[in-house]
Amino acid sequence: MLLLPQRIWLSTRTIEAGTEYGGNMNFEDFIISVAPQYQGFARSINDYMLQNGCALKITTAKNGYVVSYQHTARKRVVMNFVFRKKGLVARIYGDHVGDYPDFLEALPDSMRNSISEAPSCKRFNDPPKCNSKCVGYVFSLGNAQYQKCRYSCFMFDVSDESIPFITAHIEKELAARQAQCDGGRAGFLL
């Protein structure tokens, strides 16, 4: 197994009134804020992303840390961990969702519902109201066709049920991006 050097960018921002994290944030600072039953999962994703050439970036936001993994060859974030009131959430940027349509059909109902309830991409209906970096995703799930926002489409609560599917989704997305870098066919990114 080839271990690549870990690349970490650090930044600080106030999380809540009177609480500010210093410039020495690292992955261990994040891990101690993760529920104990999900720390092993977060560590395994971190190891997998770093071993597959992704750069790690740790920042803070209103509800806690944001841990992002950027594909170094494509310069786009593959996934990040964020905190919401419910707990740890994995956000996957499924730029190549069209390369693995059968995978979406195999997701448990809770994850399929999360996708269907995510907001539609404004870029398709009213481009000035959308983030200029959002390109949106067009895909089918079940009998429905979706046009979803890239920033909220694949946001899954980390749970015992979702962990194997989050892991598989990350593996599929990273493999599709690598294939594109290696001269494979272009992805489904709009």
Is 0.85 topped by the overall pTM? Answer: no
Q: Is 183 left (phi over 0), alpha (psi -120 to 50) or beta?
A: left
Q: Is 99 left (phi over 0), alpha (psi -120 to 50) or beta?
A: alpha
pLDDT digits (tens, 9 = 90+) for 3-47: 333 333 333 333 332 233 445 578 999 999 999 999 999 999 999
3-state class of 142 per DSSP?
Answer: coil
Alpha-carbon gap, residue 153 to 66, rounded angstroms: 17
pLDDT digits (tens, 9 = 90+) for 50-100: 999 899 999 988 888 999 999 887 788 999 999 988 899 999 999 999 888
Domain boundaries, the chain: 8-181
* Cβ-defined contacts of 79-84 (< 8 Å, 24+): 79/45, 79/49, 79/170, 79/173, 81/30, 81/34, 81/42, 81/45, 81/158, 82/155, 83/33, 84/157
